[in-house]
Amino acid sequence: MRDARAWTHAALFGSLWGAAEASLGTVLKATNVPLSGLVMASVGVLCLLTVRRLQPTVGISLVTGVVAAFLKVFSLGGLVLGPAVGILAEAALVELAMTATASSALGAVVGGALALAEAPLQMAVTAVVITGPEAVVALGKAARALAGWVALPTASPLAVLSAVAAVSGLAGAAVGGLSWRLAGRVTRRLRGST
């Protein structure tokens, strides 16, 4: 069959996600709104799951992510590698979860959890790449010392990172479930209007 809809849907939903990243994402980042990374990751999960529910084609989430990353990188006239890599990783994780579960609600929950848990992990990896492992070890030591001064229980940086990723993952699972539900409403809306 010759059906261009999978590609046009990937292009349009990637465009929507990329536009949200370039506008809302930039504003949230510039105004230092807390948890802006998680908010934008949730927007991405919503776009990815909606396009997957409308066009359950293997690979469509990945193409949507590539389009969104392209727009994020070039829409502001400056190359921003970190967010683009984050978008691609998020799309790849949702693609993996949805392909493994044949585009089901379970896949949406797992995909959402993986996508949001990826954000703090990506930040850590970027920090290691840019500042080097030595700086990260030093940062961990500083954090432990700071925790000791204010009488907080100390934990290894890896444990803290794992805890943050786990909490983000739980939030992501909820976002995935809600996004799948909203995608269902979009599908019904499109069918109902015809």
Partner 1 sequence: MRRLGTLLAVAAIALAFVPHALAPPATLLAALAASLLLEPAALKRAWRLPALLLVLAAAALTTALVGWAAAPSRGLAAGAAVLLRFLALLLLAALASRQVDADAIARGARRLGMTRLGLATGLALNALPHLGEAARDAWTALAVRRRRPLPRLADLPRLAEVLLAHTARVAEEAAAAAALRGHDALARPSAPLPHVPLLVVVTGRPGVGKTPAMRGVAAALRERGVSVAGFVQIPVWGEQGKGGYTVRDVATAQERTLAVKVGERRGEHGTPFRFEPAGFAFARAALERARAGSVLILDELGPVELRGGGHMPAVRRALARPGLAAVLATVRPALIPSFLSQLAVPSAVVVDIEELAEPVAALLAALAPVLPPAG
Binding flag, residue 167, partner 1 (CB under 8 A): no
The pair phi, psi for residue 152, each rounded to 5°, is -100, 150
- 5 to 34: interface string for partner 1, x by CB under 8 A: xxxxxxxxxxxx-xx---x-----------
- Does residue 36 belong to the site contacting partner 1 (CB under 8 A)? no
Q: Which parts of 132-156 fold into alpha helices (H)?
A: 133-149
Instruction: Kindly tell me which residue out of 27, 135, 159, 163 binds partner 1, with binding defined by CB under 8 A.
Output: 135
Q: Distance (Å, rounded) from C-alpha 75 to C-alpha 19? A: 8
Which positions from 68 through 127 interact with partner 1, judged by CB under 8 A? 70-71, 74-75, 77-81
Q: Does 1 bind partner 1 (CB under 8 A)?
A: yes
Contact 168, 160 (CB under 8 A): no
**DSSP structure class, residue 182:** H
Q: How far is CA 115 from CA 14, 65, 107, 163, in A?
A: 16, 12, 12, 15
Output 136 or 155, the one with its CB closest to partner 1.
Answer: 136
The answer to whether 68 and 21 are in contact (CB under 8 A) is yes
Helix (H) or strand (E) holding 34: none
The 42-71 site mask, x for binding partner 1 (CB under 8 A), equals ----xx--x---x--------x--xx--xx
46: its two tokens: 């919503």
Of residues 129 and 159, the one with the C-beta less far from partner 1: 129
Query: Is position 132 an interface residue for partner 1 (rule: CB under 8 A)?
Result: yes
Please give the residue ranges that form the binding site for partner 1 (CB under 8 A).
1-16, 18-19, 23, 46-47, 50, 54, 63, 66-67, 70-71, 74-75, 77-81, 129-135, 137-139, 141-142, 182-183, 185-186, 189-190, 193-194
